[in-house]
Structure 1
Amino acid sequence: MPAGCEDTGIDYFVTGSLMYGASPDAFADAAALPLRDASVDAVVILEVIEHLPSPRQALHEIARVLRPGGQLLLSVPFLYPIHDAPYDFQRFTEHGLAHEIELAGMRVCELRPSLGAVQTAGLIVCLALGGMAAESVRRRSLGVLLFPFAALAVSIINVTAWVAGKLLPGWTAVTAGYVAVARKS
């Protein structure tokens, strides 16, 4: 951040403290931020709203605390495994995300996929291999014997997806997630 900027970190107690041991400036619910109206220039909320039972209310709270012209930087997963269960509630399409941001009184300035289609496909395959490897360990299955092959496959898939992503045209219908920039009117 540029010199002279102040930041206030806010996290949800149950996940931030109990699951991850976070130590933000404050613990709060995103749907009830402990900040004054129009008191901040920017809000950064990365990979969070899928974990909120009321993402619409949280976006309205963000709009409430932003100054006029204030900026929101937000990222969300789209094609991604369930994580932080049982606190993983929804996924947004690019259209649903834009709709919710605009309903909250902000204007979407940029909305783009976080990964291309082939990189997303590679990511999903690698996550599936990793998840199955973890399950093999948890269940004490003979699948652990396949670890060396899975590790090799992950390396090959990552390199192949990266190269293919450089050579093939993009397709925005398949992505791991979205990044949005919005401004309060």
Structure 2
Amino acid sequence: MGPTPSPEIAKQIRKNFSSVRFYQDIFLIRHHLWKDVRQVASQFKGRLIDVGCGLKPYASLFPGVDYLGLDYPPGSDRHYGEHTLADAWGDASALPFPSETFDSALSIHVLEHLPAPESHVQEMFRVLKPGGRILLSAPFVWPVHGEPWDFVRYTPQGLVRLLENAGFQVETVKAQGGAWSAAGQMVIIALLFGALRPRPPWDRPLGWLWKLSLVPLINVAALVLDKIFQEDRWALSFLAVARKNGGN
């Protein structure tokens, strides 16, 4: 299982992933990610590799697996510093493991940061045993982030093509949050982080006003409207589950 999170990091994971609250500015993206990964987690068994693991926020959803996290040192140092929970370091497009090492694989919001995402998926195929499964999630509607390492966004068809070209059989493709969640999350980011305009010093206190008043309203309204008006072509992310043929 690798390093155990400190109480501080465990609290951070609960706050920003497993128990994210409707009044938080990252609620919509994290709510849908957590919910959808949890729904398919029971399909993943045995030895699991989480590429781009960071703080391993999803590890608790996979009880009973041998969970190994891999990250790329420069990215991990920048985002997590000494708190990273990676068990191994390596390049996502040249994994440092023998072929057919793992039964399961995760790649959650990693693809967009890779100059060669095709190589990453091919490597995941290589290190999986026959019959093994991969869970792949990539953003669709999301601002540029992690510059200069942000290269691409994926449609459902793009994910399917990427996986099938690597040899996988795609079993599931799912929108993570519909049009209203995507629109609501973008409005929140624009209001709180100045994506629409530069924010002068005197305007900064308004950020707290937006956060206390509008953010909870937008989050709740987005979930309700997604239920009523189901539009999946404009989603925050898309998630795919695919299988390497062979095995049981």
* TM-score for the superposition, normalised by structure 1: 0.90
Following superposition, the deviation at residue 135 of structure 1 comes to: 5.6
Q: State which of 138, 144, 164 in structure 1 corresponds to 2:204.
A: 144
Residues 134-163 of structure 1: CA deviation (Å, up to 9, x unaligned): 963xxx533224224422122221122122
Residue identity opposite 1:176 in structure 2: L
Please tell me whether the aligned partners of residues 17 and 23 of structure 1 are also in contact (alpha carbons under 8 angstroms): no
**Counterpart residue number, 1:14:** 74
Q: In structure 1, how many angstroms separate the alpha carbons of the residues matched to 2:78 and 2:210?
A: 32
> Greater CA deviation, 88-97 or 142-151?
142-151
User: Whole-Å Cα distance in 1 between the matches of residues 207 and 77 of structure 2?
Assistant: 33
> Aligned to 1:58, which of 120, 133, 143?
120
SS of 1:9 mapped into structure 2: strand
Give 1:166's aligned residue: 227
Larger Rg: 1
Match of 1:37 in 2: 99
Task: Describe the SS at the equivalent of 1:150.
Answer: helix
Structure 2 runs not aligned, ≥5 long: 1-61
**What is the match of residue 128 of structure 1?**
190
Amino acid at match of 2:143: P
Matches of 2:187 and 2:171, distance apart in 1: 32
Distance change in 2, residues 1:28/1:162 (3 Å): same
Report the AA paired with residue 78 of structure 2.
L
Structure 2 CA distance, aligned partners of 1:2 and 1:100? Answer: 29
Gaps of 5+ in 1: none
CA contact (8 A) 2:191 2:207 kept: no
- Take 2:68 and 2:209, find their aligned partners in 1: how far apart are those partners? 45
Percent of matched pairs sharing the same residue: 37
TM-score (norm. length: structure 2): 0.68
